[in-house]
């Protein structure tokens, strides 16, 4: 049903404070929520894709988190003689300068995870805000924000990243900024369409009938009920960001002061025949990490997609 | 349509709880082909009625008749294009943000789809308590306690108050919907098809609950439904809508006993029989409700009316009092 | 007495889901004679739709007919090969559903959809099928059928779409029409039109009809006999006039009395306490016992211990209740 008079009204701080708990606040021991969570976990864990994705992702995150325990040495330091094949001392061998490939792979996980999470997180925030506001406010605001989104969509990410690195010099921060600013458009679209669907539902109207302001409605009812596919999408974006970072580093445009899988591959390309381990292990690491987060994202997407929920028998 | 309130002058002596005058709601048509023609969908086209304190006004008609839009307009959940809505003497449509919020504490709504009307992520107790929190009437613990009380009144246990919506049945969820409206202690509850999504045996439970609550609290209902037997059962007065207009309004018994408008007669005759012996004779209307976007001169019901006369398609009949307390818009009553 | 057109014996259709076995239909027996209209009545979840789908051989996993027989005009349908089912389903047993528009293919013209239904078995060529499609549309009361035959489902109103569904169902001149809540989604004046049409077609073609509905009024309108279902079983089966004048099962009595009636305005309605049991967790004994006021009045203990058998206290009237057995 078309509605008028829905234009967003300004919200004062006092009203914000008076209007109850926000969606993200922890609820303590809410039995209903806990019960729902248990049931959801069983359903989630029943999918093999979900389990594999989750295991690989956890592995990836653990390696990145425990870098200093697993490989305490500086990956740039010389650990042995050049081109040592994998052995008990250097599990994954050494590179052309005698640096430990294993240490590089482990420290590279940290770099990749940082880039992936930073980019996906930024696009989650920007996309949700832009899409949420566009969908909820509608009208001219919606038109303006969606034109902006389209503008971001037509910017070629990879070449923009190349240009920025060429202009401002290689650096992890620059790269994350460029990728974040060019990757939120899909999130914004998904978020907007979710908001458009949910805001017409009767429970939103019901809250409005109870006296709830539009902003309170957006915060407590609309966004929490549309966030699921957006989070699933963010998980997929982690993988995309990791790949782009690796590609740029492979082309020698990565941050030279930070070890990364792409940098290691770049270094390895001249020695593919002589020292296969230099390229195989970083390559495997990229594949496993991206596969893990992508499977997890797919599984989350399926899990939250109402159409994929199995219904019981009806009479 | 005249602006005379559908309850007639008898009721006009005392101020009504709710008075709706000449309510109009047009929707712009989104379709590109039709937008150029400048047409708009007249969902509600000049509706007037009043509801007294503790009274039930039934609003019946088929889908596309504009009943739901009237209900939403009363709480200003849609913004009407014209007319006035006055509740307890205050102008709902002119109310500012603060006043509107206060008004919505005094009038509430119960929706048709019990599951769709509840946030799937919140326990039903929290959904009921939400109104108290929004209106700033109670701190959180107090709001929860009162929610459990009201849920108990409508027949749900404290354990069920902690359930998520998908864990309850349709009938239970509709009780939650009623509790959510009641917790603010309103004077008027708009019931928009409150039982049509429920099973027969559960419908009766909900209807009884609504009747009991009305007795206890002196609630007034604007009861919107397509089921005539139901409306007749629960209402003091009934208004029949067709294509955005009220075509007839009368005390429930009289309307069903001797309908004055041909559409009311057709509706009554279309209701499935309440006994097989009554089944096999009836007046079956031709055609279906046309879209409300076609420009209309004359009576909106004329194209389907078995009694239509030549002037019916040229001139719209006035909505006027045909006998004390009975109003209809039809030339046959002249 | 002649052999019934359809004879269902001890039908059990269960759904094997993660949470357990849903016994949606649990021992249904029913006979339909030629040209007879039987109303299959019950509330949501009682198994009426699953019964009708089982008869038409349309049960899909996780559902399965685990026991019983469905004999149609001498042919056993349970366990029959797909070839046999296809020769029966469509031409001889046709179905219409609650959501007519969802049952029509949105990208195919109305004429082609009817034409497709005519292709199997009739041996008609394309122009003949086209002419027959127009005839059928005319038959179901669609005005200007020459134009409508070229239209697509989104151009039809709900009532019109249901008429088209009926035309498709009639294409094979079926002996049995299963109508699953055919008017529930329609407005009351349109519902009256569709019921009138069904009644007229049924009489003209001497077609048997199983009308699946929750609406007792619809049954009164059109059915000769009624079968009332509760929790996967038929609890009462009788002529429609007996259903209204002398129902026997406490559930049927409760259903009849819980309808709002004109005479006692604003009074409390009789209610059946509680709600329909979850089919995963049916009570031992009679499924209706926990809600049964007649049981609490008479204090019968057998109700909660043993499921009642179907008995026939009157000719042509069967009931599953310990009060009558």
CB < 8 Å to A312, chain C: 15, 17, 19, 22
Is the Cβ–Cβ distance between B177 and B210 less than 8 Å? Answer: no
Q: B175's torsion region: left (phi>0), alpha (psi -120 to 50) or beta?
A: alpha
pLDDT of B280 higher than 60 = no
The CA distance from A290 to A247, in Å, is 13
Q: Which of A281, A298, A295 is nearest to A63 (CA)?
A: A281
**Cβ pair B180:A210 closer than 8 A:** yes
CB < 8 Å to B130, chain A: 20, 207, 210, 212
Give yes or no for B213 touching C (CB within 8 A): no
Is the Cβ–Cβ distance between B39 and B29 less than 8 Å? Answer: yes
Which member of C18, C19, C24 has the closest CB to residue A315?
C24
**Cβ pair A19:B133 closer than 8 A:** yes
The CA distance from C187 to B267, in Å, is 10
Q: For C119-153, give one letter per residue: b (16+ CB within 10 A) or e.
A: eeeeeeeeeebbebbbebbbbbbbeebeebbebeb
CB < 8 Å to A314, chain C: 44-45, 49-50
The CA distance from A162 to A244, in Å, is 11
Give yes or no for C277 touching A (CB within 8 A): no
Which member of B100, B136, B140 has the closest CB to residue A18?
B136
CB < 8 Å to B164, chain A: 32-33, 35-36
In a domain, A161, yes or no: yes
The CA distance from C167 to C192, in Å, is 17
Size of interface A-C (CB pairs under 8 A): 30
Q: Which subunits sit against C, judged by 3+ Cβ pairs under 8 A?
A: A, B
* H or E segment and range at residue C177: strand C176-180
pLDDT at B3: 43
The CA distance from A50 to C20, in Å, is 23
The three state secondary structure string of A20-44 is: CCCCCCCCCCCHHHHHHHHHHHHHH
Which member of B69, B97, B133 has the closest CB to residue A9?
B97
The CA distance from C35 to C195, in Å, is 16
Q: Which subunits sit against A, judged by 3+ Cβ pairs under 8 A?
A: B, C
Residue C18 phi, psi (nearest 5): -50, -45
Is the Cβ–Cβ distance between B169 and B158 less than 8 Å? Answer: no
Q: By percentage, how much of chain B surpasses pLDDT 70?
A: 87
User: Is the ipTM above a cut-off of 0.95?
Assistant: no
In a domain, C119, yes or no: yes
Residue C205 phi, psi (nearest 5): -100, 0
In a domain, A221, yes or no: yes
Question: Which residues in chain A (33-72) have CB-CB distances under 8 A to chain C?
Answer: 46
pLDDT of B258 higher than 70 = yes
**Cβ pair B117:A203 closer than 8 A:** yes
Two tokens, residue C95:
């179905």
The CA distance from A293 to A225, in Å, is 23
Residue B319 phi, psi (nearest 5): -85, 105
Sign for the CA dihedral angle at B29, B31, B32, B33 comes to: negative
Chain C: residue whose CA lies nearest to A43: C18
- Rounded to the nearest angstrom, the minimum Cα separation between C244 and chain B is 7
| B312 SS3 class | helix
Q: What is the pLDDT along chain C (325 residues), one digit of tens a residue?
A: 578 999 999 999 999 988 788 899 999 999 999 999 999 999 888 899 999 999 998 888 889 999 999 999 989 999 889 888 888 888 899 999 888 888 888 888 999 898 888 876 667 888 888 888 999 998 888 888 888 889 898 888 888 899 999 999 988 889 999 999 998 888 888 888 888 889 989 999 899 999 999 988 899 888 999 999 999 999 999 999 999 999 999 999 998 888 876 555 778 888 888 888 877 778 888 999 989 988 888 888 889 888 999 999 988 899 999 998 7
**Cβ pair A202:B113 closer than 8 A:** yes
HSE toward the beta carbon, residue A35, CA cutoff 13 A:
14
C159 to each of B178, B200, C153, how far by Cα in Å? 33, 24, 11
- Rounded to the nearest angstrom, the minimum Cα separation between B4 and chain A is 27
Domain with residue A276: its CATH number is 1.10.3720.10
Give yes or no for A311 touching C (CB within 8 A): no
Residue in A205, A209, A223, A224 to test binding to B, most B beta-carbons within 10 Å: A209
The CA distance from B147 to B130, in Å, is 9
Chain C: residue whose CA lies nearest to B254: C262
Q: What is the pLDDT of residues B54-80, one digit of tens each?
A: 999 999 988 878 899 999 999 999 999
**Cβ pair A33:B118 closer than 8 A:** no
The CA distance from A93 to A278, in Å, is 8
In a domain, C107, yes or no: yes
The CA distance from B313 to B297, in Å, is 6
Is the Cβ–Cβ distance between C172 and C119 less than 8 Å? Answer: no
CB < 8 Å to C191, chain B: 270, 272
**Cβ pair A203:B28 closer than 8 A:** no
Is the Cβ–Cβ distance between A39 and A303 less than 8 Å? Answer: no
Give yes or no for A315 touching C (CB within 8 A): yes
**Cβ pair C220:B200 closer than 8 A:** no
Whether the upstream peptide bond of residue C153 has omega within 30° of 0, thus cis, is: no
User: Strands, DSSP E only, in chain B?
Assistant: 18-28, 40-51, 56-60, 82-87, 90-91, 107-110, 188-192, 220-225, 237-242, 245-251, 320-323, 326-328
Report the range out of B35-44, B294-303, C206-215 with the highest average pLDDT. Answer: C206-215
pLDDT at B281: 59
CB < 8 Å to B229, chain C: 259-262
- Rounded to the nearest angstrom, the minimum Cα separation between C127 and chain A is 41
Chain C: residue whose CA lies nearest to B267: C189
State the total domains in chain C: 1
In a domain, A41, yes or no: no
**What DSSP designation does C248 have?**
-
Give yes or no for A36 touching B (CB within 8 A): yes
Which member of C22, C46, C48 has the closest CB to residue A313?
C22
CB < 8 Å to A32, chain B: 123, 162-164, 167
- Rounded to the nearest angstrom, the minimum Cα separation between B233 and chain C is 5
pLDDT at A232: 86
The structure's pTM equals 0.80
Strand pairing report for B237-242 and B245-251 = antiparallel
In a domain, C159, yes or no: yes
**Cβ pair B117:A212 closer than 8 A:** no
Size of interface A-B (CB pairs under 8 A): 89
pLDDT at A3: 37
The CA distance from C171 to C117, in Å, is 6
Q: What is the pLDDT along chain A (315 residues), one digit of tens a residue?
A: 333 333 333 333 333 333 333 333 333 344 555 656 666 777 778 888 889 999 999 999 998 888 888 877 888 888 888 888 888 888 888 888 888 888 899 999 999 899 999 999 999 999 999 999 999 888 889 999 999 888 888 888 788 888 888 888 888 888 888 888 888 989 999 999 999 988 888 899 999 999 999 889 888 899 888 888 888 889 889 998 999 888 888 888 888 888 889 889 888 888 888 889 999 999 999 999 999 999 998 888 777 765 444 333 333
Residue C246 sits at the vertex; the CA angle it makes with C242 and C252, to the nearest 5 degrees, is: 90
Chain A: residue whose CA lies nearest to C233: A315
The CA distance from B239 to B267, in Å, is 13
**Cβ pair C261:B236 closer than 8 A:** no
Which member of B62, B226, B272 has the closest CB to residue C218?
B272
**Cβ pair C265:B232 closer than 8 A:** yes
pLDDT at B4: 45
The CA distance from A110 to A245, in Å, is 13
Q: What is the pLDDT of residues A260-293, one digit of tens each?
A: 898 898 888 888 888 899 999 999 999 999 999 9
**Cβ pair A5:B163 closer than 8 A:** no
pLDDT at B8: 46
CB < 8 Å to A194, chain B: none
| B56 SS3 class | strand
Chain B: residue whose CA lies nearest to A207: B131
Chain A: residue whose CA lies nearest to B74: A209
* Mean predicted lDDT score pLDDT of chain B: 86
In a domain, A26, yes or no: no
Is the Cβ–Cβ distance between C142 and C197 less than 8 Å? Answer: no
Query: Would you place residue B31 in the very low, low, confident or very high pLDDT band (cuts 50, 70, 90)?
Result: low
Give yes or no for B77 touching A (CB within 8 A): yes
- Rounded to the nearest angstrom, the minimum Cα separation between A253 and chain B is 46
* H or E segment and range at residue C228: strand C225-230
Q: Which residues constitute the domain of residue A151?
A: 47-308
C249 to each of B164, C307, C309, C318, how far by Cα in Å? 35, 14, 13, 9
Number of Cβ within 10 Å of residue A163's Cβ equals 12
Gyration radius from chain B CA atoms: 21
All domains in chain B, ordered by first residue: 8-88+187-274+285-333 (3.40.50.300)
Residue in B40, B80, B134 to test binding to A, most A beta-carbons within 10 Å: B134
Residue A170 phi, psi (nearest 5): -70, 145
* H or E segment and range at residue C102: helix C100-103
Q: Which residues constitute the domain of residue C119?
A: 100-171
State the total domains in chain A: 1
Which member of A33, A203, A209 has the closest CB to residue B119?
A203
CB < 8 Å to C45, chain A: 314-315
Sheet strands side by side (includes C63-72): C20-32, C6-17, C63-72, C75-76
**What DSSP designation does A4 have?**
-
- Rounded to the nearest angstrom, the minimum Cα separation between C134 and chain A is 35
Q: Which of A52, A45, A46, A47 is nearest to A291 (CA)?
A: A52
**Cβ pair C15:A312 closer than 8 A:** yes
pLDDT at B52: 94
In a domain, C121, yes or no: yes
């Amino acid at each position: 049903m078309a509605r008028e008079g829905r234009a967003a009204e300004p919200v004062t701080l006092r009203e914000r404070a008076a209007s109850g708990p926000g969606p993200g606040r922890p609820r303590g021991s809410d039995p209903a929520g806990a019960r729902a969570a248990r049931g959801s976990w069983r359903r989630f864990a029943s999918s093999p894709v979900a389990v594999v994705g989750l295991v690989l992702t956890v592995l990836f995150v653990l390696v990145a988190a425990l870098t200093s325990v697993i490989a305490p040495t500086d990956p740039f330091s010389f650990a042995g003689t050049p081109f040592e094949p994998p052995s008990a001392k250097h599990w994954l061998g050494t590179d052309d300068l005698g640096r430990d490939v294993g240490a590089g792979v482990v420290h590279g996980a940290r770099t990749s995870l940082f880039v992936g999470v930073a980019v996906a997180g930024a696009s989650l925030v920007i996309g949700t805000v832009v899409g949420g506001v566009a969908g909820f406010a509608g009208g001219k605001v919606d038109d303006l924000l969606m034109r902006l989104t389209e503008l971001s969509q037509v910017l070629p990410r990879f070449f923009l990243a190349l240009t920025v690195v060429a202009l401002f010099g290689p650096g992890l921060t620059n790269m994350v900024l460029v990728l974040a600013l060019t990757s939120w458009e899909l999130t914004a679209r998904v978020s907007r369409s979710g908001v458009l669907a949910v805001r017409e539902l009767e429970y939103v109207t019901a809250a409005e009938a109870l006296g709830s302001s539009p902003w309170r409605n957006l915060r407590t009812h609309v966004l929490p009920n549309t966030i699921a596919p957006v989070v699933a999408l963010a998980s997929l974006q982690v993988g995309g960001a990791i790949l782009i970072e690796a590609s740029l580093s492979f082309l020698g445009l990565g941050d030279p002061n930070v070890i990364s899988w792409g940098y290691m591959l770049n270094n390895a390309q001249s020695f593919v025949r002589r020292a296969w381990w230099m390229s195989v292990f970083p390559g495997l690491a990229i594949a496993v990490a991206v596969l893990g987060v992508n499977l997890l994202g797919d599984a989350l997407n399926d899990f939250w997609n109402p159409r994929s929920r199995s219904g019981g028998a009806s009479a | 349509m005249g602006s005379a309130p559908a309850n007639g002058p008898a009721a006009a002596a005392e101020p009504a709880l709710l008075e709706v005058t000449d309510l109009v709601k047009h929707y712009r048509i989104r379709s590109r082909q039709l937008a150029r023609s400048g047409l708009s969908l007249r969902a509600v086209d000049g509706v007037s009625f009043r509801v007294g304190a503790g009274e039930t006004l039934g609003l019946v008609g088929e889908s596309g008749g504009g009943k739901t839009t009237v209900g939403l307009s009363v709480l200003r959940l849609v913004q009407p294009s014209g007319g006035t809505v006055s509740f307890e003497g205050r102008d709902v449509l002119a109310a500012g943000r603060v006043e509107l919020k206060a008004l919505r504490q005094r009038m509430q709504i119960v929706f048709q789809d019990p599951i769709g009307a509840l946030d799937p992520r919140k326990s039903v107790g929290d959904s009921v308590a939400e109104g108290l929190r929004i209106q700033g009437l109670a701190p959180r613990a107090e709001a929860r306690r009162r929610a459990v009380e009201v849920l108990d009144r409508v027949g749900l246990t404290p354990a069920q108050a902690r359930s998520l919506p998908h864990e309850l049945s349709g009938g239970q969820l509709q009780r939650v919907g009623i509790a959510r409206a009641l917790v603010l202690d309103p004077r008027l509850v708009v019931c928009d098809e409150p039982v049509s999504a429920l099973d027969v045996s559960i419908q009766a439970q909900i209807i009884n609950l609504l009747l009991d609550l009305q007795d206890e609290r002196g609630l007034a209902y604007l009861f919107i439904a397509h089921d005539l037997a139901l409306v007749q059962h629960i209402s003091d007065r009934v208004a029949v809508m067709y294509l955005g207009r009220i075509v007839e309004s009368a005390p429930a018994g009289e309307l069903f006993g001797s309908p004055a408008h041909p559409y009311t007669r057709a509706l009554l005759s279309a209701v499935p029989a309440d006994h097989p012996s009554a089944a096999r004779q009836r007046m079956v209307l031709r055609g279906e409700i046309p879209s409300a976007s076609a420009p209309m001169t004359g009576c909106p019901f004329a194209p389907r009316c078995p009694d239509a006369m030549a002037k019916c398609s040229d001139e719209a009949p006035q909505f006027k009092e045909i006998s004390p307390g009975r109003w209809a818009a039809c030339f046959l009553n002249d | 007495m002649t052999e019934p057109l359809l004879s269902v014996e001890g039908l059990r259709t269960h759904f094997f889901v993660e949470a357990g076995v849903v016994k949606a239909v649990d021992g249904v027996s029913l006979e339909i004679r030629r040209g007879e209209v039987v109303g299959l009545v019950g509330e949501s979840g009682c198994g009426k739709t699953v019964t009708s789908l089982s008869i038409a051989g349309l049960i899909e996993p996780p559902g399965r007919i685990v026991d019983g027989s469905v004999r149609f005009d001498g042919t056993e349908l349970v366990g029959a090969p797909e070839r046999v089912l296809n020769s029966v389903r469509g031409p001889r047993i046709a179905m219409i559903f609650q959501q007519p528009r969802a049952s029509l293919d949105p990208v195919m013209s109305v004429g082609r959809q009817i034409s497709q239904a005519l292709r199997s078995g009739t041996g008609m060529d394309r122009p003949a099928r086209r002419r027959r499609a127009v005839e059928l549309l005319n038959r179901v009361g669609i005005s200007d059928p020459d134009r409508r035959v070229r239209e697509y489902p989104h151009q039809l109103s709900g009532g019109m779409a249901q008429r088209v569904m009926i035309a498709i169902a009639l294409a094979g001149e079926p002996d049995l029409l299963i109508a699953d809540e055919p008017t529930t989604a329609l407005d009351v004046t349109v519902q009256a039109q569709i019921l009138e049409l069904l009644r007229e077609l049924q009489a003209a073609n001497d077609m048997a009809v199983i009308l699946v509905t929750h609406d007792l009024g619809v049954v009164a309108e059109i059915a000769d006999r009624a079968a009332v279902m509760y929790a996967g079983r038929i609890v009462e089966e009788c002529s429609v006039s007996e259903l209204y004048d002398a129902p026997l099962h406490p559930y049927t009595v409760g259903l009849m009395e819980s309808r709002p009636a004109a005479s006692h305005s604003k009074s409390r309605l009789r209610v059946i306490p509680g709600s329909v049991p979850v089919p995963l967790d049916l009570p031992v004994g009679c499924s209706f016992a926990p809600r049964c006021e007649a049981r609490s009045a008479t204090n019968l203990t057998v109700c909660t211990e043993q499921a009642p058998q179907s008995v026939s206290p009157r000719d042509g009237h069967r009931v599953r209740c310990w009060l009558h057995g």
